[in-house]
Structure 1
Amino acid sequence: MTSTQSSLDDSPGLRPDDGARADRRWGVVALVTALLGFYGAATLVYERLQLFLDAGHRTSCDINSWLSCGTVMRTPQAEAFGFPNPFIGIVAYAVVLAIAFAVLAGARFAAWYWWCVQIGVTLGWAFILWLWWQTTFEINALCLYCMLVWIMQTVLFVHTTARNLGAGVIPSRPAVARAAGSWAWFVSAALLVLIFGTVFIRFAGVIFPA
């Protein structure tokens, strides 16, 4: 028995068969969210290149003054590290896709590997929260493809955390470990309601002009 399988067997919340099913569920969620996140990031890279070639280019999601990818792309926040942010998404989601395919093919990884996945996904979600704050309260404009990435990263973060709680990678009480998977979709929905509820309140004046 490998050390990885042993860690699943000894996990406080899951039996070995449950652990394998939890990994497959995570693999499906990771595959879907990474594919859609990659699509959003790749589309933003394409639109950013068009803006580079033509400063007057109208992006495919320039709908009005407050729902405009072009407006967001032209801000310093869109290049937080000196290059367009979507490049990070393309690389990161490609990595997640590779891990998801490996898990769905039956691969089992050691706890330290899942910690690396957890750290990467958590940092990605923290960056998404920063971008959400910047676009909502500083830039005062929204980007449809950015919001697609917000949704996918939030779901990926919650389900990765739930998987690692259930497998015992993240230490927790047995009851928490057992319940983590069952609550993952509810927690994802609650976080998205909070994020987009704030956006809705912030832009209510332009969505529903007096």
Structure 2
Amino acid sequence: MGGLIGLAASLVLTVEKIALLKNPEYVPSCSIDPILSCGSIMRTEQAEVFGFPNPLLGIAGFAVVATVGVVLLAGVELPRWFWLGLQAGATFGVVFVHWLIFQSLYVIGALCPYCMVVWAVTIPIFWYTTLHNFRLPALRKYHGVALTTWYSAVVIAVLQAFWDYWITLG
């Protein structure tokens, strides 16, 4: 499910980026206010770290994850080398997403709702791939606690970074 959700968010971000490239005056659908502003983020260097729009990485990566999910649902057992490759991709994804979170919160000063969807699905993709690959019984037992703690840390960082803005809304 995470692969499909991430793929959908990446596709929407790509369409929005193309529209912005065609028309610099275009306001993306995810630009809601000064903080929730995809347009602000899409215009930064961070939005094209490797020389092309970041969502293209998401399209490729999440398509792989979605395909793996379908293959697993079909009952196919994948070889160890494949799982290690998936681990490498998921690790790259989660590290990259956390770099983007930092950039969004503390350098750019804006949030992109579709990007936050990508954040939200990348974390459990990495987490459950890691639990599968390394078979850590203690962590498997408390997998939900670890994931909840991780999400809570991200939410606290978002609240802290934009606290001055949030308190003006009330």
Under TM normalisation by the shorter chain, which class is it?
over 0.9
Q: Which amino acid in the other structure matches residue 92 of structure 2?
A: L
Structure 2 counterpart of 1:77:
46
Give the alignment's TM-score, normalised by structure 1.
0.78
Which of the residues 173, 179, 186 maps onto 2:138?
Answer: 179
Segments of 4+ in structure 1 off by > 3 A?
A: none
| Native 8 Å contact 1:158 1:187 kept in 2 | no
Give the alignment's TM-score, normalised by structure 2.
0.95
SS in 2 for 1:55: coil
| Native 8 Å contact 1:34 1:94 kept in 2 | yes
Structure 2 counterpart of 1:147:
116
Structure possessing the higher radius of gyration over alpha carbons = 1
Q: Which amino acid in the other structure matches residue 199 of structure 1?
A: V
The Cα shift of 1:87 comes to: 0.3
Structure 1 counterpart of 2:98:
129
CA distance, structure 1, for counterparts of residue 86 and residue 153 of structure 2 = 25
Give the RMSD, CA atoms, in angstroms. Answer: 1.2
Q: Please tell me whether residue 102 in structure 1 is matched to residue 71 in structure 2.
A: yes
| Native 8 Å contact 1:163 1:180 kept in 2 | no
The Cα shift of 1:90 comes to: 0.3
The Cα shift of 1:93 comes to: 0.5
Structure 2 counterpart of 1:37:
6
Structure 1 counterpart of 2:158:
199
The Cα shift of 1:49 comes to: 0.7
Structure 1 counterpart of 2:168:
209
Equivalenced residue count is 169
The Cα shift of 1:97 comes to: 1.0
Which of the residues 149, 156, 162 maps onto 1:190?
Answer: 149
Structure 1 counterpart of 2:37:
68
CA distance, structure 1, for counterparts of residue 111 and residue 6 of structure 2 = 17
Structure 1 unmatched ranges of 5 or more: 1-31, 167-176
Structure 2 counterpart of 1:165:
134
CA distance, structure 2, for counterparts of residue 51 and residue 133 of structure 1 = 24
Identity of aligned residues (%): 34
Structure 2 unmatched ranges of 5 or more: none
Structure 2 counterpart of 1:18:
none
The Cα shift of 1:83 comes to: 0.5
The Cα shift of 1:58 comes to: 1.0
The Cα shift of 1:37 comes to: 0.6
